[in-house]
Amino acid sequence: MTLVLKNVAKTFPGGTRALLPTDLQIGQGEIVSLLGPSGCGKSTLLRIIAGLETAEPGAEIRFDDEDVAALPVERRKVGMVFQSYALFPNMSVRRNIGYGLKMQKLPKHEIDARVDEVIALCRLEPYATRAVTALSGGQRQRVALARAFAPRPRILLLDEPLSALDASLRNQLRDELAELLRQFRITAIFVTHDQDEAMAIADRVAVMSQGEVAQIGTPEALYRNPATPFVARFVGHAMPLAGRIDKDRLHLQGGALPLATASDGLQAFVRAEDVCIDPNGPLEARVETVTFLGTHYRIALSGVTEDSLYALHRGASAPGPGETIRIAIAPEAVITLSADQKAA
Amino acid sequence: MLKSPAKLLQLLVTLAACAFLLVPTLQSVLAGVTVNYFQGISSGLTLSWIGEVWELYSDSIFLSIRLALACLAVTLVLGVPAAYALARNPGRASRILEEFISLPLAIPGLALALALLQLYGSVRGFRVNWTFILVGHVLYTLPFMVRSVLSVLAAIDLKTLEEGAASLGASPARRFVDIVVPNALPGILAGALTVVTLSIGEFNLTWMLHTPLTKTLPVGLADSYASMRLEIASAYTLVFFVMIVPLLMAMQWASARAQRIMQ
């Protein structure tokens, strides 16, 4: 199914603008993630697509050629996975998964066949007859996914499906979820505040901030060419380089840095992995703290820009706190952007 | 087991308290099966008083059962949807409404009965009908049903469960039947047993509302103590016990079960 949103907006009672007028298009079989901090409107947008919230008048929500904006949730044929899973505690795993099919009033043998198929697909065979209250968090999450997928929904909507899990389990289930969604060959929207999750699962990521989509694109495009300072900060934790840009040079506290292109009047950002220790580098910095993280050291530097600048340093040893070192940043690693319209 | 004098003292106090409560009860029960109470046990034991109670008051027993079941039906039909509505709309208005439903608990049964008499006493057919008492019982027991169901519903994430069911295609009516009622069942069961027990044992209200032809079990008990021999009244107490004690035990069990679900 293709999804087209036009002019979808939401103001909560009390006047909070949860979602500014938003347009979005999602192609057949595409998996799109809505990524952003809490309160950015991503869950509201998902719930409007599901029909659990109503958009303001004038909104258009198209599932293929059908405008579903006026339909209640039970008639939109969406599959929804909730953060808390919302499994029915009064039903077994099988009956949870079969509930949507039962609502479609299918004959019993068809329901059984489909439930068996989905249970096998989600590798839930050992748990089929169990009570949902007897399952672990990861198993519950898979049951929730199976239940949403079993009635052959037109679109799968997942609201932070991994955030109720332990950190150690989350990484494993993230890949499992990505694989299952690919197998389902279904259009899906996935809400998360975790950029790793968004990047691992989605074909395209829509970064949201303060009720609007700041940028939408493939994970690589967002990472390499962020459109706004907010996106640069949120995706890949770019750090601002506060200084004066003069033609193709950036003047900072610790020295001047060459830029790839002339960028008068823009803001400069850099990511920690692009800050290199280099005895011949143009910038001078003072080492504040050094944290050993196994694969690399994370070094906090002062004297370059207003806030601490972090450098990821690979190598057998690292400079000690208090030392003065020289660093380099490749001209093409500096991201230059015009300032956000609003403070991010 | 009895390691210290303190433990021994504890046991003695407990036994004394139990005896204080149980001895009069046992004495009353015994009186109900004694041929002549004033002569004591030596006059012999008999079940004839119980038979006499049955002859004199079986109508009251059946009326009480009918009242209790009708009261249960009405409180289920009114109370479960009311508790659901209160659970789904948490807010000031709901809290006020909840207190309002509970108001009959704070007012003495006599006052409640007087109010009912003032309002409906002149409606002749209704005044002498058993449903007049039913109205009083529903007023008195409804808050127990609502609170019992509400406390279970408040402990589960009803909104999200219903959203889950709705996203799978369930209409509001289906969600109520498939999701709300089954998950509220422990609360409904505990509430139902409380309602039946209270209805069967209710005296204050019923005493004011009854007519000679609509005597319930407790009103009949008062009547038997006032106008029959002590042995009959005591045998009546025995019958009352036999009916109410199993209900009480079931109620305890059901509330404990509902409590467990809520944790």
Provide the pairing of β-strand A31-35 with A188-192.
parallel
The arithmetic mean of pLDDT across residues A68-89, rounded, is 95
Q: Within a domain: residue B149? A: yes
Can you give the CATH number for the domain in which B199 is found?
A: 1.10.3720.10
Tokens (6 digits) for A109: 């043998």
Range from A54-63, A254-263, A264-273 carrying the lowest mean pLDDT: A254-263
pLDDT at A245 over 90: no
Output the pLDDT for position A290: 94
Report the residue of chain B nearest A74, measured CA to CA: B169
What confidence tier does B263 reach under pLDDT thresholds 50, 70, 90? low
Minimal C-alpha gap between A36 and chain B (Å): 22
- Helix axis angle for A108-121 and A167-184, nearest 10°, is 130
Select the residue of A50, A90, A104 nearest B167 (Cβ to Cβ).
Answer: A50
Residues of chain B contacting A100 with CB distance shorter than 8 Å: 168-169
Output the pLDDT for position A342: 45
Residue A78 forms beta bridges with which residues?
A: A155
Residues of chain A contacting B167 with CB distance shorter than 8 Å: 50-52, 73-74, 78-80, 148
pTM of the full predicted structure?
0.84
Provide the pairing of β-strand A324-329 with A275-277.
antiparallel
- Classify residue B56 as left (phi > 0), alpha (psi -120 to 50) or beta: alpha
Minimal C-alpha gap between A97 and chain B (Å): 10
Q: What sign does the dihedral A156-A160-A165-A166 (CA atoms) show?
A: positive
- Write the pLDDT tens digit of every residue in A32-50: 999 999 999 999 999 999 9
DSSP string, A247-311: TTEEEETTEEEE-SS--TT-EEEE-GGGEEE-TT-SEEEEEEEEEE-SS-EEEEEESSSSS-EEE
The arithmetic mean of pLDDT across residues A61-68, rounded, is 95
Based on the structure, what is the number of domains in chain B?
Answer: 1
HEC string of B190-256? HHHHHHHHHHHHCCHHHHHHCCCCCCCHHHHHHHHHHHCCHHHHHHHHHHHHHHHHHHHHHHHHHHH
Which 84-143 residues of chain A touch chain B by CB within 8 A? Answer: 84, 86-90, 99-100, 103-104
CB A203 within 8 A of CB A31: yes
Using a CB–CB cutoff of 8 Å, tell me whether B182 touches chain A: yes
Select the residue of A77, A82, A151 nearest B164 (Cβ to Cβ).
Answer: A82
User: For chain A, first and last CA: distance in Å?
Assistant: 34
Cα atoms in the Cβ-side hemisphere of radius 13 Å centred on A266: 19
Tokens (6 digits) for A101: 């099919």
Rg over CA atoms, chain B: 23
Which 135-164 residues of chain B touch chain A by CB within 8 A? Answer: 156-157, 160-161, 163-164
Select the residue of B156, B167, B183 nearest A80 (Cβ to Cβ).
Answer: B167
Q: Which of A68, A87, A90 to mutate to test the interface with B (most CBs of B within 10 A)?
A: A90
Output the pLDDT for position A343: 41
What confidence tier does B237 reach under pLDDT thresholds 50, 70, 90? confident
Using a CB–CB cutoff of 8 Å, tell me whether B174 touches chain A: yes
The CA-based angle A152-B182-A154, given to 5 degrees, is: 10
**Domain locations along chain A:** 3-233, 239-337
Cα separation of B54 and B180, whole Å?
43
Output the pLDDT for position A52: 96
At residue B116, what are phi and psi to the nearest 5 degrees? -65, -40
The arithmetic mean of pLDDT across residues A93-97, rounded, is 96
The CA-based angle A106-A108-A109, given to 5 degrees, is: 105
Check CB contact under 8 Å for A88 and B165.
Answer: yes
Select the residue of B160, B166, B182 nearest A73 (Cβ to Cβ).
Answer: B166
Q: Which residue has the tokens 């999602």?
A: A26
Select the residue of B168, B174, B179 nearest A151 (Cβ to Cβ).
Answer: B168
Check CB contact under 8 Å for A99 and B170.
Answer: yes
**Closest by Cα among A155, A190, A151 to A29:** A155
For the beta carbon of residue B171, count every other beta carbon within 10 angstroms: 14
Average pLDDT, chain B: 89
At residue A253, what are phi and psi to the nearest 5 degrees? -55, -40
Output the pLDDT for position B262: 64
Cα separation of B44 and B62, whole Å?
30
Average pLDDT, chain A: 92
Output the pLDDT for position A340: 60
Report the residue of chain B nearest A105, measured CA to CA: B169
- Write the pLDDT tens digit of every residue in B86-127: 999 888 998 898 888 888 888 888 898 999 999 988 888 888
> Domain span at residue B125?
41-262
Q: Within a domain: residue B103? A: yes
CATH node for A3-233: 3.40.50.300
pLDDT at B1 over 70: no
Check CB contact under 8 Å for B167 and A73.
Answer: yes
pLDDT at B196 over 60: yes
Q: Within a domain: residue B15? A: no
**Which residues in B179-207 are b (16+ Cβ under 10 Å) and which e?**
bbeebbbbbbbbbbbbbbbbbbbbebbbb
pLDDT at A341 over 70: no
- Write the pLDDT tens digit of every residue in B163-193: 999 999 999 999 999 999 999 999 999 999 9
What confidence tier does A344 reach under pLDDT thresholds 50, 70, 90? very low
Residue A256 forms beta bridges with which residues?
A: A251
Provide the pairing of β-strand A66-67 with A60-63.
antiparallel
- Write the pLDDT tens digit of every residue in A304-327: 888 899 999 998 888 999 999 999
Q: Which of A54, A68, A71, A80 to mutate to test the interface with B (most CBs of B within 10 A)?
A: A80
Residues of chain B contacting A88 with CB distance shorter than 8 Å: 161, 164-165, 178-179, 183
- Write the pLDDT tens digit of every residue in A190-199: 999 999 999 9
Strands (DSSP E) along B34-118, which ranges? none
CB B201 within 8 A of CB A110: no
Report the residue of chain B nearest A104, measured CA to CA: B169
Name residue B193's amino acid. Answer: L
Using a CB–CB cutoff of 8 Å, tell me whether B177 touches chain A: no
Using a CB–CB cutoff of 8 Å, tell me whether A148 touches chain B: yes
pLDDT cut 70: percent of chain A above it: 99
Output the pLDDT for position B233: 86
Q: Within a domain: residue B135? A: yes
Residues of chain A contacting B176 with CB distance shorter than 8 Å: none
Report the residue of chain B nearest A147, measured CA to CA: B168
Tokens (6 digits) for A293: 């993280």
What confidence tier does A107 reach under pLDDT thresholds 50, 70, 90? very high
Provide the pairing of β-strand A31-35 with A204-209.
parallel
Q: Within a domain: residue B175? A: yes
Residues of chain A contacting B161 with CB distance shorter than 8 Å: 86, 88
Output the pLDDT for position A120: 95
Tokens (6 digits) for A238: 């770019």
For the beta carbon of residue B78, count every other beta carbon within 10 angstroms: 15
Tokens (6 digits) for B87: 């659970």
- Helix axis angle for B130-155 and B109-120, nearest 10°, is 130
Output the pLDDT for position A172: 86
The arithmetic mean of pLDDT across residues A163-190, rounded, is 90
Residues of chain B contacting A75 with CB distance shorter than 8 Å: 169
Using a CB–CB cutoff of 8 Å, tell me whether B171 touches chain A: yes
Q: Which residues contact B116 (CB under 8 A, 6 or more apart)?
A: B132, B135, B136, B139, B209
Helix (H) or strand (E) holding A60: strand A60-63
**Closest by Cα among A250, A264, A240 to A340:** A240
